[in-house]
Amino acid sequence: MRPNSHGKCLYKPSLAINFGRVRNAVKIWILLSTFLVCSGWILSVFHELNRAGYCVVFGLAFGTFLFWRWKTRCRPSKTPALLFQKFRRRFKRPAPMLFLALALMSFISGALYVSENNDSNEYRVPRVWHWLAEGHWHWIRTLDFRMNAAGCNFEWLGTPLMLFTRHDRFLFLINCVSYLMLPGLIFSVFTRLQVRPRAAWWWMWILPSGFCYALQASSDVNDSFAVIYALASVDFALRAREKNCVSDLWFSILAVALLTGAKQTDIPLALPWLIAVIPCLRLIKTKVLATAGICIAALLVSALPLACLNFHYAGNWMGLPTSSGFWKNESSPPFWNVVGNAFCIPTQNLIPPYMPSAHRWNEAMAHFLQTPLGSHFRAFENFGYIAGRGTTEVNAGIGLWIFILTVISLGAAGFGKARGTPKNGRRCLRWAPYLSLLVFMATVTTFENARQLAAYYVFLFPAMLVSNGQATLVRKRWWQYAGLGAMLLTIAMLIVVRNRPLFPAISILTPLKERYPQSHFVATLVDSYSHRLSMLKGRSAFENTIPAGEQVIGYVTVRGSQEAGQWVPFGHRRVERVLPGDKPAELQASGIHFVMIDSDGMGLSSTTLGDWTNRLNGVVVDSVEIHAATDNTITNYLVRLNPSGTN
């Protein structure tokens, strides 16, 4: 091939990608995901969600695998030495090398730090501990409806990890493994949608450096892992259509089912899959019974089981509370939802890595909501609000660098048509994700919705990259360096991100604060990095105050994030949510003698510490302050119930 303008070429088609191996890895991941989600629901039916139950299903799965190996006489086609040689050749180019660096840094970051993501600690991790403690999925007594209503496929994937390690710190592996498959799937889907291979090659490395993918790869946030299922559902559907292969159709069905079961907000992405799969539905008649079995498994791993349970317990398929209570239960016309999201989503994607003036921005947003125009957006949860002082995995969209590079690319090359004969349905399939996005924007008014679009972003690019001008643009040396620069800036961000820095932040900044005590900038940096230590202190709060023999403690909260750490290591203690109507005598009869009370929950319920101590007939014996990632200070109180008192 012709080298780049000067010196060594940065792209070589023979090294672009061998998607055969990536596709096999994706198939294994889809099968493993299906197996784990189905196992979780089935074991729950038999009340055997425990180590013995999982050992049985793992044993059956391993036996099935050995039988399959014996029947197919499957043998590795290449030696480890040859595979390593190919790996080294493929990743010696700058873009693949930078992606490999991102993946390694994400793994190291996830291994070093316990997650402090609010959503995970408030309801996703605690509900798994509740299920395991009871031996089955059940509707949990809590004021936080999310513990029961939110999609739970991520939790089913992590349940065996938590059960056998008795900890939640290894949940990041789900995102980390998914992240490794992202480039290959992007390349395959983009080229099938008529993006030129050269442009697809560059963007398959650049897009995974988006903040929502790179930052979440080291965390237990559950937004980005579903992009693998979304891409695979379309890729296998198109492949089944081209190769007349019914097994690819099966994998496509399983993938889209897993996508809908991951998060309810991802359900609109079933539209591109539907367009891709309709032409190959004729393959069903070749193996009707096997396809029926796959569809049954797909229903079990989809959003359907939880939707039915939500309808049974809450009266609606989303599980939303019938009365507003502590949670917003307002609605607004879809038009204003779209307008509001058209403002919020770009704003959250343009947040710089560090934004010390976030509090002034939030004050301006709060003032805007009081205006006549702003009143249309009061149904939004914290409209326009920026959490923290910059970008983290809990508020990041595709990110500032990718956003800028996309604008530059469109400005330099523009939109256009694909060269060659148009393939049937490809144009419709390229634009269908925008309709899915419109449905999302018209219906979702939650907080930090830019990160909830993690599964959507990659599907928005084929329509922009299909033009011949994009294929020409990626040959330009300045553009290639701009793309590599975007990846390098994400690497730099992974090093300095405040909730899991890859440098000794506190050791460096604390002496600087002592040396420059008047420096507001240094003090702000120290506070920003110190909140992680405060959160760790909150996980082990009252460890020395609560007697070792206490098997269960109570927790008064609405959306508290301190429950997860109290379960660790799993088996030494249980946590039960205490509701306003619970009586002290009932609590003590159930073995609860100590209750944690969280100040954030008191604020939401308009109660005071005195109200709760009187209600529980208890006395405060300890307290701890926690500086959250959102820069709020939360105080947790430990109340001991009086043995003789009843109300």
List, for residues 450-480, the tens digit of each pLDDT value: 899 999 999 999 999 998 899 999 999 999 9
- 202 and 281 in a single domain? The answer is yes
- Answer yes or no: is pLDDT of 76 > 70: no
DSSP 397: -
Do both 606 and 468 map to the same domain?
Answer: no
- At 189-237, the pLDDT tens digits run 999 999 999 999 999 999 999 999 999 999 999 999 999 999 999 999 9
| Rounded mean pLDDT, 5-25 | 57
pLDDT at 579 over 80: yes
177 and 255, same domain (yes or no): yes
- Is the predicted pLDDT of residue 613 greater than 80, yes or no? yes
Any idea what the CATH number is for the domain that residue 590 is in? 3.40.190
pLDDT the model gives residue 248: 94
Rounded (10°) CA dihedral 469, 475, 476, 477: 160
Task: Write out pLDDT tens, residues 324-335.
Answer: 566 666 678 899
Domain C-terminal end among 437, 455, 483 = 483
* pLDDT band (50, 70, 90) for residue 23: confident
**pLDDT score recorded for residue 80:** 62
Give me the count of residues in the chain.
647
Using CA atoms, how far apart are residues 257 and 307, in angstroms rounded to an integer? 13
Does 460 lie in the same domain as 543? no
Tokens of 132: 């395991």
Amino acid in the structure at residue 321: P
The confidence score (pLDDT) of residue 234 equals 96
Nearest to 500 by CA among 110, 212, 199, 80: 110
Is residue 568 located within the same domain as residue 464? no
Mean pLDDT of 163-178: 94
**555 with 578: CB under 8 angstroms?**
yes
Which pLDDT tens digit goes with each residue over 56-67? 999 998 898 888
Rounded CA-CA distance 396/171 in Å is 19
The pLDDT confidence band at residue 4, using thresholds 50, 70 and 90, is very low
Which amino acid, one-letter code, is at 145? F
**Distances 196 to 7, 233, 432, 460, 474 between C-alpha atoms, Å:** 24, 21, 20, 16, 10
| Beta strands 574-577 and 594-598, pairing class | unpaired
Residue 116 pLDDT level (bands cut at 50, 70, 90): confident
* pLDDT of residue 75 exceeding 70: no
Q: Which 3 state secondary structure label does DSSP give 636?
A: strand
* Tokens encoding 151: 């999609």
- pLDDT bucket at 528, cuts 50 / 70 / 90: confident
The verdict on residue 6 lying in a domain is: no
Q: Is the pLDDT of residue 19 over 80?
A: no
Q: Is residue 380 part of a domain?
A: no
72 has pLDDT over 80:
no
Residue 364 DSSP SS3: helix
pLDDT given at position 40: 96
**What is the DSSP secondary-structure string of 560-628?**
-S-HHHHHPSTTS-EEEEPPTT--HHHHHHTT--EEEEEHHHHHHHT--HHHHHHHHTEEEEEEEEEE-
Summarised one tens digit per residue, pLDDT across range 296-325 is: 999 999 999 999 999 999 988 988 887 656
Cβ neighbors of 253 (< 8 A, separation 6 or more) are: 277, 294, 295, 298
What is the reported pLDDT for 424?
A: 63
**What is the structure's pLDDT at 426?**
84
Cα–Cα distance measured from residue 426 to residue 276, given in angstroms and rounded to the nearest whole number: 9
User: pLDDT confidence of 16, banded at 50, 70, 90?
Assistant: very low
Look at residue 2 in the predicted model and tell me its pLDDT.
41
Do residues 75 and 215 share a domain? yes
Is 450 a domain residue? yes
Residue 307 in any domain: the answer is yes
Residue 469 lies in a domain: yes
pLDDT per residue as tens digits for the range 140-158: 999 999 999 999 999 999 9
Regarding whether 583 and 435 lie in a shared domain, the answer is no
- Do β-strands 633-641 and 618-627 pair in parallel, antiparallel, or remain unpaired? antiparallel
In a domain, 25, yes or no: yes
Number of H helices, E strands in the chain: 30, 5
Mean pLDDT across 349-358: 81
Same domain, 152 and 66: yes
In 3D, which of 153, 163, 193, 169 has the Cα closest to residue 29? 153
Please determine, for residue 594, whether its predicted confidence score (pLDDT) is greater than 80. Answer: yes
Same domain, 125 and 270: yes
**pLDDT (tens digit per residue) in 399-455:** 889 999 999 999 988 766 665 555 666 889 999 999 999 999 999 888 888 899 999
Using CA of residue 196, residue 198, residue 199, residue 203, what is the dihedral sign? Answer: positive
Among 9-13, 26-30, 447-451, 610-614, the range scoring the smallest mean pLDDT is: 9-13
What does each C-alpha distance from 499 to 122, 404, 470, 527, 571 come to in angstroms? 17, 25, 37, 11, 28
SS3 label, residue 555:
strand
503: Cβ–Cβ under 8 A, 6 or more apart, which residues? 495, 496
Q: What is the model's pLDDT at position 513? A: 81
Domain containing 555: what range?
537-641
Percent of the chain with pLDDT over 90: 54
**Per-residue confidence band for 26, with pLDDT thresholds at 50, 70 and 90:** very high
Domain end point (choices 455, 483, 511): 483
Q: How many structural domains is the chain composed of?
A: 2
Least confident of 353-357, 457-461, 598-602, 605-609: 353-357
148 and 21 in a single domain? The answer is yes
Give the Cα separation of 555 and 553 in Å (integer).
Answer: 7
Decide: 311 and 317 in contact? Cβ < 8 Å. yes
pLDDT tens digit sequence for 466-517:
988 999 999 999 999 999 999 999 999 999 888 888 988 888 888 888 888 8
86 — pLDDT class (breaks 50, 70, 90): low
Strand order in the sheet with 552-556: 574-577, 552-556, 594-598, 633-641, 618-627
d(CA 18, CA 8): 22
Could you tell me if 45 and 168 lie in one domain?
yes
Tell me how far apart the terminal alpha carbons of the chain are, to the nearest angstrom: 83
Are 318 and 445 found together in one domain? yes
Contact 148/124 with Cβ under 8 angstroms? no
pLDDT at 58: 94
Q: Categorize the per-residue pLDDT at 289 as very low, low, confident or very high, splitting at 50, 70 and 90.
A: very high
pLDDT of residue 463: 93
Give Cα 324 to chain centroid, integer Å: 26
Alpha helices in 244-399 (DSSP H): 246-262, 270-277, 288-301, 304-314, 334-349, 358-368
In a domain, 356, yes or no: no
Where residue 390 falls (left for φ over 0; alpha for ψ -120 to 50; beta otherwise) is left
SS3 assignment, position 36:
helix
**Cα separation, 612 vs 65, whole angstroms:** 55
Residue 561 lies in a domain: yes
Asked if pLDDT for residue 647 goes beyond 80, the answer is: no
| Mean model confidence pLDDT for the chain | 87
